[in-house]
Amino acid sequence: MLIKSLTMIDFRKYEQVSMNFGSHTNILHGENGAGKTTILEAIHSLAYTRSFKTRLDADLARHGRVGYQLKGLFSDHQGIEHKVRLKVESARKKIVSVDNNNLKSRAEIIGRFPLVSLTPEDGELTFGSPEVRRLFFNKLLSQVDPAYLEQLQIYARILKQRNSMLQTYAIDGGAFDRILIATLDDQRAKVSAQLHQARSRHLTEFKKLLYEAYGQLEQENSLKMAFRSNVRVTAGEPEGLYRKAYQDSLAEDLRKGTTTRGPHRDLFTFFLNTKDLRKFGSQGEHKLVLVAVKFAEGRFLESFLKEPPVFLLDDLFAELDVKRSLMIVESLRGDHQIFITATDLADLRHHGLTVEGDSLQVIDAGKIQDHG
């Protein structure tokens, strides 16, 4: 997949600009505040209907405007082009269309124009709480497995209802509908087993790609990723095991006013040389794992979707030494369209990226405003 051109109207600082991109490496160059990240955000918003920085469309509209518009021309690996348009007219009115057909739901576009973005916010993926990693894997698996997305939505609905029952009980006490909660837990056990199986299966695949990607960047340390299910699902029948765990934990849940067991508490943990990365990793070690996760994400998406994703790399070289940067640049060579932001071209050269050549385009983010 590649994006050939982009138009932004009233999107963040841009009033009305259009630009064309090269099919290999695109360098978005400009000083702080020039508008580099905004271009990545626009591309992401077109492909996933929302930004990686905010869910509030009001923040994306240029100060003083209520809406904004984005247009992108995408091309798949066969060269077939698609026009994607996103128009926000007000907080409540957002229209996304592909080839002039308006979409009814996000699910219609998720997975069609795959992107891998690496932005400073992604640092949370290795530094942050388990929740961040669960969200990451949920988003990744949802793109390749529509059944997984559906199961997640069902699980979230049940969990919400169950928690609100538990909360009401914790606050008011009184009568408690045990039959209803047993019914919910029956349904929850069923979908939990499905989620568990999908996670185990996909993560086995993902881990292979991750270790391979990491091994290309770093030979001295060893990385392991563990998926630990919150309910022990050993050999046997997972649905029954979940049902039993839910029955056993009901008393505790009633006491705490929340649901303590289930896949919403599963853990994904990174270990560097057998030590928890989150607790012991250095900044650069974190960043290298993050880059490996992103490369693995790209290969994972590509293997399922049969479409090479576009890489959006914001501030890629921060925290990395030159040796590691060179390895990253080396493994980026391939058939992907890449966007890299830079405040300083000399710094890119320093990190091993040749900034001249046919396969590379430099876009000066600070100057495009003038081209209207």
Q: Is 337 in the site for Mg ion (CB under 5 A)?
A: no
Q: Is 37 in the site for Mg ion (CB under 5 A)?
A: yes
DSSP one-letter string for 200-234: HHHHHHHHHHHHHHHHHH-SSS-EEEEEE-SS---
The answer to whether the beta carbons of residues 297 and 207 sit under 8 Å apart is: no
Residue from the set 33, 146, 215, 240 that interacts with ligand ATP by CB under 6 A: 33
Residue from the set 55, 63, 178, 279 that interacts with ligand ATP by CB under 6 A: 63
**Binding range to ligand ATP, per CB under 6 A, among 36-44, 217-225, 276-284, 294-302:** 36-44
* Closest C-alpha to 239, from 181, 305, 188: 188
Shortest spacing between CB 51 and ligand ATP, in angstroms:
11
Shortest spacing between CB 314 and Mg ion, in angstroms:
6
Q: Is 365 in the site for ligand ATP (CB under 6 A)?
A: yes
The tokens for 316 are 């890629």
Residue from the set 25, 38, 126, 337 that interacts with ligand ATP by CB under 6 A: 38
Q: Is 19 in the site for ligand ATP (CB under 6 A)?
A: no
Shortest spacing between CB 97 and ligand ATP, in angstroms:
23
Q: Output 305-308 pairs: Cβ under 8 A, ≥24 positions apart.
A: 305/111, 305/114, 305/143, 305/144, 306/77, 307/1, 307/76, 307/77, 307/114, 308/1, 308/77, 308/114, 308/335, 308/336
**Binding range to Mg ion, per CB under 5 A, among 1-9, 16-24, 31-39, 198-206:** 31-39
**Span 336-355, contacts to ligand ATP by CB under 6 A:** 343
Three-state SS string over 7-68 comes to: EEEEECCEEEEEEECCCCEEEEECCCCCCHHHHHHHHHHHHHCCCCCCCCHHHHECCCCCCE
Report the partner that residue 365 touches, choosing among ligand ATP, Mg ion, none (CB closer than 5 to 8 A by kind).
ligand ATP
Residue from the set 5, 49, 62, 249 that interacts with ligand ATP by CB under 6 A: 62
CB closer to Mg ion, 37 vs 142 = 37
Residues 6 or more apart whose CB falls under 8 angstroms from that of 153 comprise none
Residues that bind Mg ion in the complex, under the rule CB under 5 A: 37
Residues that bind ligand ATP in the complex, under the rule CB under 6 A: 12-13, 30, 32-38, 59, 62-63, 343, 365
